[in-house]
Amino acid sequence: MATTGIEAPGRAQIGAKTLRTDRWWITPLVTFIALSGFLVYSTWRVLSNQYYFYEPYISVYYSPCLSNTCVPGSGFANTPISWWSLSPALLTAWIPLAFRFTCYYYRKSYYRAFWMSPPACAVAEPHGKYTGERRLPLIFNNVHRYAFYLGLLLNVVLTWDAIIAFRNHDGQWGHMGLGTLLLVANAACLWMYSLSCHSCRNAVGGRITHFSKHPVRYQMWTFVSKLNKKHMQWAWISLGTVVLADFYVYLLASGRVTDITFF
């Protein structure tokens, strides 16, 4: 007789891991496929170290480009890590990765879809032992806020990238192409994803007990709380815009397409 879980002594001996009759496995399966696809695509792009810049567009994975190996025009001059010789995306891409990995929404997703802990509600998990987020390495999920702060800095850079995408290929202002649209949409979606974050909600006002003594923070908390209800949607939308924006830059930089210009 099992000593733990749903067949533990004293509990109703039912024998099935779940009696759910709905297709509970669809959501974790779709999540698994989507997140795996994103990880494979991102790994390829981060490690490829090419086709990430097409004036004025830069791939989100490579911005800010901080090493001397950056394609001319894409990088920051005189950075303290200019000696870096590997893919410059490795210097920054870990920030959004850490932000998403520790995100309260993605934690639900990957615990269910990858670790099956549990695969779905009221469906028994396959693990004999469970310690939660109390030990290494998952205890680091408790400092999601640091990834959030760093992510905000990155959002500022990506917003600047979107602004300078209104310059044309020769650096003159007054241009708008499909790339501009994608970079602007990506920056906007990343801001929405970041600002709807649970750590943001705590930082702006969630941690205070007397809202009546902090009316401005109460308003901020109310605003972020509204965004927070759509955090899952922003998590997925921004994941999609990252891929779209990057892939368009890849197509341009590799010469597979020419930029669609609106003006």
Partner 1 sequence: MGYLAKFRVWRGDNEGGGLQDYAVEVNEGEVVLDIVHRLQATQTPDLAVRWNCKAGKCGSCSAEVNGRPRLMCMTRMSTFTEDEVITVTPMRTFPVIRDLVTDVSYNYEKARMVPSFAPPADLEPGDYRMAQIDVERSQEFRKCIECFLCNNTCHAVRDHEENKTSFSGPRFLMRIAELDMHPLDTVDRRQVAVEEHGIGYCNITKCCTDVCPEHIAITDNAIIPLKERVADKKYDPLFSIASLFRRNKDDRTAPPAAKV
Closest separation between CB of residue 195 and partner 1, Å?
15
Closest to partner 1 by CB, 86 vs 208, is 208
Closest separation between CB of residue 48 and partner 1, Å?
33
Closest to partner 1 by CB, 108 vs 262, is 108
Q: Take residue 4 and report the two structure tokens written for it.
A: 């733990």
Q: Which residues bind partner 1 (CB under 8 A)?
A: 3-6, 8-14, 18-22, 104, 107-108, 111-112, 117-118, 121-125, 127, 129-134, 138-139, 142-145, 198-199, 201-202, 206-207, 209-212, 218, 228-229
Closest separation between CB of residue 27 and partner 1, Å?
11
Strands 57-58 and 53-54: antiparallel
Closest to partner 1 by CB, 112 vs 175, is 112
The residue type found at 263 is F
Contact indicator for 33, 121 with CB cutoff of 8 Å = no
- In whole angstroms, give the CA distance from residue 195 to residue 204: 10
Q: What are the residue ranges of helices labelled H in the chain?
A: 26-48, 89-92, 94-102, 104-113, 144-164, 178-195, 198-201, 215-228, 231-253
Closest to partner 1 by CB, 125 vs 176, is 125
Closest separation between CB of residue 210 and partner 1, Å?
5
Helix, strand, coil percentages in the chain from 3-state DSSP, rounded to 5 = 55, 5, 40
